[in-house]
Amino acid sequence: QEVGCLSIIVLGASGDLAKKKTFPALFHLFKQGFLQENDVHIFGYARSKLSDEDLRERICGYLGQAASTEPTEVLSRFLQLIQYVSGSYDSEGGFQLLNKQISEHEISKRSEPGTSRRLFYLALPPSVYPSVCKMIRRYCMNQSDLGGWTRIVVEKPFGKDLKTAEDLSSQLGELFDEKELYRIDHYLGKELVQNLLVLRFANRLFLPLWNRDNIDNIQIVFREDFGTEGRGGYFDEYGIIRDIIQNHLLQVLCLVAMEKPVSLYPEHIRDEKVKVLQSVIPIKLEEVVLGQYEGYKDDPTVSDSSNTPTFATIVFHIYNERWEGVPFILKAGKALNSRKAEIRIQFKDVPGDIFESKRHGRNEFVIRLQPSEAMYMKLTVKKPGLEMSTIQSELDLSYGLRYQDANIPEAYERLILDTIRGDQQHFVRRDELRVAWEIFTPLLNSIEEGKLRPVMYKPGSRGPAEADELLAKVGYVQTHGYIWIPATL
Ligand code: BG6
């Protein structure tokens, strides 16, 4: 079936997310030829009174640095595709006007009625999702199903707890089918997160090892070396658990722990993710350490009595045949001593060890999501030379070195392309979201009730010492005297 032209509508076009992520991702797709001038038109919609030129200038300003190395001609061709429509998020007039503009574009491209494609990207606070979706449903849908479609992309936070998330899901669910809704979690667009399925299920090497018989514990870690600069107001309402752990790190946990899907069909993958989430047993408060960095409350948008964690370590247990007894430690923190995200799989000690290899530390398989994407396996080897002594070394696959000519796309770039292609594999399904909130809501309630308080930590440190103690308590053995250095050219 012939498909018609594509309209991409960015709602919240004058906001931060649109400027920093959505438009740059669209520009990169354009540059690589995924968005064709004779086919695509981009609409920005927001409340501010701006002209087309004003919006283009803003986007251009943000793309400035990257653009300076580009022929300005590519950028100006991209900017010419963008048109601005101003209106509020609940006004009929605004959305009627938007529809008129989209239709004019479709007519000018001679799209057969019903074949055109409309992608709505909600770069907006979730409080306006219901009214915006209602307006889209009422005024802006592609009118029939002759190969065309209307799709809605939404950003987290999808609610604050089980109830608010379910309310939001029901409101959106009344307006759109699940196959029209794309809930973005940008961690699912990262190269090494997408590699997890291949790694686990296409390598004979890992199949017999990936279980409770061999693995002692698994850590999924996110660290940032800056605080909540400029986002204190948002952050204080959500905290690190809702900002990072309930979504990004839990999604990674699913891919590390799930069983092999029946096929690569998106529903088969998402079915397995839901199953593993359903096997997570309730979080115990004594297996949680919260932290807040000193100075967090100096931000005028943060309340002086804020109990909001900027750091958390939480131990999860999955009760199934593969994982019973293996702690999954999810850790995230702002204002720490480094910026990185990684998965660290620590194996059990060698039984009947004759080399005292325990001295060096255990075998670990580390997947470095960012920066410097890499995978490395920590091994004990014979120290080169005449003596029979052992040292710890590694098998290292550093992407920068191994794939020198490859361009690793930005997460948003990849995910937006998926929405155009209609591939929901890397998006969060409604039932997945529900179970994710079921897991975290009791803990979040305890924090709100003040049953659990964050420990203060110094900005630029490792976070609270209590978190390292918890790690050791559940079995993680830290390797001393060995540091992996990312390979460089
Ligand atoms: C966002 C969080 O979802 O992810 C931010 O709201 C965080 O607080 C960001 O900084 C991290 O993303 P990345 O891709 O830089 O790891």
Q: What is the DSSP string of 417-476?
A: HHHHHT--TTB--HHHHHHHHHHHHHHHHHHHTTSS-PEEE-TTB---HHHHHHHHHTT-
Q: How many whole angstroms from 187 Cα to the centroid of ligand 1?
A: 9
Residues 6+ apart with CB under 8 A from 157: 126, 238, 242, 243
Quote the pLDDT of residue 151: 97
369 contacts 341 by C-beta, under 8 angstroms: yes
Paired tokens of 430 = 């409604």
pLDDT tens digit sequence for 75-101: 999 999 999 999 999 999 999 999 999
Quote the pLDDT of residue 115: 84
Helices assigned H by DSSP within 322-429? 399-402, 411-421
Quote the pLDDT of residue 65: 56
Indicate the top mutation candidate among 226, 228, 244 to test ligand 1's pocket, ranked by most ligand atoms within 8 A of CB.
244
Radius of gyration of the CA atoms of the chain, in A: 24
pLDDT tens digit sequence for 453-476: 999 999 999 999 999 999 999 999
What's the rounded Cα separation, in Å, for the pair 126 and 323? 35
- Asked if the model's pLDDT at residue 60 lies above 70, the reply is yes
Which ligand 1 atom is the nearest neighbour of the CA of 248? 3
Quote the pLDDT of residue 363: 95
**Which ipTM score applies to this complex?**
0.95
236 ligand 1 Cβ < 6 A: no
Q: How many whole angstroms from 376 Cα to the centroid of ligand 1?
A: 24
Could you report how far apart the first and last alpha carbons of the chain are, in Å?
48
Can you tell me the mean pLDDT for 51-65? 86
- Asked if the model's pLDDT at residue 73 lies above 90, the reply is no
Q: How many whole angstroms from 352 Cα to the centroid of ligand 1?
A: 44
Quote the pLDDT of residue 70: 56
Indicate the top mutation candidate among 193, 224, 229, 342 to test ligand 1's pocket, ranked by most ligand atoms within 8 A of CB.
224
CA–CA distance from 29 to each of 22, 37, 184, 420 (Å)? 11, 12, 17, 11
Residue with CA closest to ligand 1 atom 13: 187
pLDDT tens digit sequence for 400-419: 999 998 889 999 999 999 99
Quote the pLDDT of residue 483: 78
Indicate the top mutation candidate among 248, 342, 372 to test ligand 1's pocket, ranked by most ligand atoms within 8 A of CB.
248
Report the percentage of the chain scoring pLDDT > 90: 81
Q: How many whole angstroms from 19 Cα to the centroid of ligand 1?
A: 15
pLDDT tens digit sequence for 346-356: 999 999 989 87
Paired tokens of 188 = 């699912």
Can you tell me the mean pLDDT for 128-134? 95
CA–CA distance from 448 to each of 112, 129, 239, 307, 424 (Å)? 54, 25, 11, 8, 34
Quote the pLDDT of residue 1: 55
Residue with CA closest to ligand 1 atom 8: 243
What's the rounded Cα separation, in Å, for the pair 461 and 410? 29
- Asked if the model's pLDDT at residue 71 lies above 80, the reply is no
Quote the pLDDT of residue 108: 84
Q: Please indicate whether residue 317 is annotated as part of the active site.
A: no
Lowest mean pLDDT segment, chosen from 127-141, 270-284, 421-435, 472-486:
472-486
Q: How many whole angstroms from 341 Cα to the centroid of ligand 1?
A: 11
pLDDT tens digit sequence for 175-232: 999 999 999 999 999 999 999 999 999 999 999 999 999 999 999 999 999 999 888 8
- Greater model confidence, 105 or 203: 203
Q: Quick check: pTM over 0.90?
A: yes
Quote the pLDDT of residue 482: 76
Which ligand 1 atom is the nearest neighbour of the CA of 224? 10
243 ligand 1 Cβ < 6 A: yes
Report the percentage of the chain scoring pLDDT > 70: 97
Which pairing describes strands 455-457 and 117-122: parallel, antiparallel, or unpaired?
unpaired
Q: Cis peptide before 371, with omega less than 30 degrees from 0?
A: yes
Which ligand 1 atom is the nearest neighbour of the CA of 370? 16
For 145, counting Cβ atoms within 10 Å of its Cβ (0-12 exposed, 13-18 middle, 19+ buried), the class is exposed
